[in-house]
Structure 1
Amino acid sequence: MSLLTIEGVWKNYHGHSVLRGVDLSVEAHEVVCLIGASGSGKSTLLRCVNLLETVDDGVIYLDGDEITDVRVDADEARRRMGIVFQAFNLFPHMTVLDNITLAPRKVHRVGRGQAEKEARELLARFGLADKAGAYPDRLSGGQQQRVAIIRALATRPSLMLLDEVTSALDPALVKEVLEIIRELKAGGMTMILTTHEMGFCREIADTVCFLDGGVLLERGTPEQIFTDPREPRTREFLRSVLDSRRL
């Protein structure tokens, strides 16, 4: 059984279809990269999976449970996932440690001592042990994004959703965030991520999915997608992205 199954998902905004019958399955420990032009539906798909958006048609299963059923407690389903956006969304008035432990303590009812112990272990694992008492405005952009990822990990999710987590960073800071994603993959974390970093996508992904106009147009291994894409639109997109990198 797949960890995540998306079947025929449609999402409409003001009469415009942003997702058009998307089907996707994600196995445990698999890393899936979603690529495509801005507005192709990548971020919307992640938001639908996390139930931040209501799907207009289709179903989504998480570990065999239909989470799009209207009778499902959306908050309960979200507790099984972690999501990180391109904006860091850290609480500026709270220390790094308090940002990370908030959800475990308030949502998952973990005791403060245990939550702080696990948070410090995560900070140490990802090279931020000395930042536990710092406030977000004292961190670099790359450090803030790493804290945002650690905050999502602190709830022990079975699935991580990463939405353009490097796009708001200066190029010099991108490397440190990509390194944390490599570490997660090495640890077997199941992930779906949207990215414009094609080189990183090719390195990290088990499966690459190209979205175009809300349609999941092509899916394959990184080798197949980047060296021999079947669809003309995929070839056109990759050519435009690679050409822009050379300018």
Structure 2
Amino acid sequence: MSLLSLRGIRKVYGDNVVLNDFGLDVEPGECVVLIGASGSGKSTLLRCVNLLEVVDDGVIELDGVDITDPRVDADRIRSRIGIVFQSYNLFPHLSVLDNITLAPIRVHRVPRDVARARAVEMLERVGLGDKASAKPDELSGGQQQRAAIARAMVNSPQLMLLDEVTSALDPELVGEVLDLLRELKSEGMTMLVCTHEMAFAREVADRVCFLHQGRPLEVGPPAQVLDDPQEPRTREFLRRVSGTTGR
């Protein structure tokens, strides 16, 4: 059974159809990388999966459970899904440790001592064990993004959603975040990743999904989609982002 299954997903803002009959399955332990031009629906798709947006039509199943059912407990579902955005979204007045424990304590009712122990473990995991008491503005951009990833991992999620997590970073800081994602992949974390980092997609993705006008126009192994794309729109996109289509 797929860990994540999307069927007929439709999302509309006014006259703008952002997702149009979108379908995709993600297997346990799989890393699927979403690529496509701005406005193709990548970020909206992640927000729908994490129930930050309500779909207008279609079904999203997580581990066989329909999470688009309005009767589901959204907070409980979100505790099983970690999401990291391109902006770190850390509260500047809180320490790194308090940023990570805020949702577990206040939303998921995890006892404070348990939440703090998990947070410390996650900070060690992402190489920030000595930054627990620091404020976000005392960290580099790469460190802030790793702290945001630690926050997303603190509830031991089944699925990680990552939305252009390196796009706000200086080039020299991109590598440290991508290295962490490579480690997560090697440990079996299921990931749905939006990125323009084609080298990362080629190295880490099990499958690449090219979105065009809110639909998965081309899906396949990185070697096929990135080096031998079948769709003219995919070739055009790859020409723009990397100067080559592989053909």
Scaled by the length of structure 2, the TM-score of the pair is 0.96
The alignment's C-alpha RMSD in Å is 1.1
Structure 2 spans left out of the alignment, 5+ residues: none
Q: Secondary structure at the match of 1:10?
A: strand
In 1, distance between residues paired with 2:104 and 2:75? 14
Q: Secondary structure at the match of 1:208?
A: strand
Structure 1 spans left out of the alignment, 5+ residues: none
In 1, distance between residues paired with 2:204 and 2:110? 32
Deviation of 1:108 after TM superposition, in Å, equals 2.7
In 1, distance between residues paired with 2:70 and 2:131? 41
Aligned partners of 1:108 and 1:155 also within 8 Å: no
Instruction: Name 1:187's counterpart in structure 2.
Output: 187
Matched, 1:173 2:173: yes
In 2, distance between residues paired with 1:206 and 1:166? 20
Alignment of 1:69-88 (within 5 A): 69-88=69-88
Deviation of 1:106 after TM superposition, in Å, equals 2.1
In 2, distance between residues paired with 1:203 and 1:66? 32
Name the aligned partner's letter for residue 105 of structure 1: I
Q: Secondary structure at the match of 2:243?
A: helix
In 2, distance between residues paired with 1:11 and 1:116? 37
Matched, 1:156 2:156: yes
- Aligned-residue sequence identity (percent) comes to 66
In 2, distance between residues paired with 1:113 and 1:71? 31
Instruction: Name 1:100's counterpart in structure 2.
Output: 100
For residues 185-206 of structure 1, the C-alpha deviation after alignment (integer angstroms, 9 at most, x for no partner) is 1111100010010111111100
Deviation of 1:70 after TM superposition, in Å, equals 1.7
Aligned partners of 2:55 and 2:68 also within 8 Å: yes
Aligned partners of 1:158 and 1:189 also within 8 Å: yes
Name the aligned partner's letter for residue 89 of structure 2: N
Q: How many residues align?
A: 244
In 2, distance between residues paired with 1:225 and 1:219? 7
Instruction: Name 2:236's counterpart in structure 1.
Output: 236
For residues 82-134 of structure 1, the C-alpha deviation after alignment (integer angstroms, 9 at most, x for no partner) is 11100100011110111111222223322222222221122112211110110
Aligned partners of 2:76 and 2:108 also within 8 Å: no
Matched, 1:89 2:89: yes
In 1, distance between residues paired with 2:40 and 2:107? 33
Scaled by the length of structure 1, the TM-score of the pair is 0.96
Instruction: Name 1:55's counterpart in structure 2.
Output: 55
Instruction: Name 2:213's counterpart in structure 1.
Output: 213
Aligned partners of 2:75 and 2:107 also within 8 Å: no
Instruction: Name 1:117's counterpart in structure 2.
Output: 117
Q: Secondary structure at the match of 2:61?
A: strand
Name the aligned partner's letter for residue 226 of structure 1: L
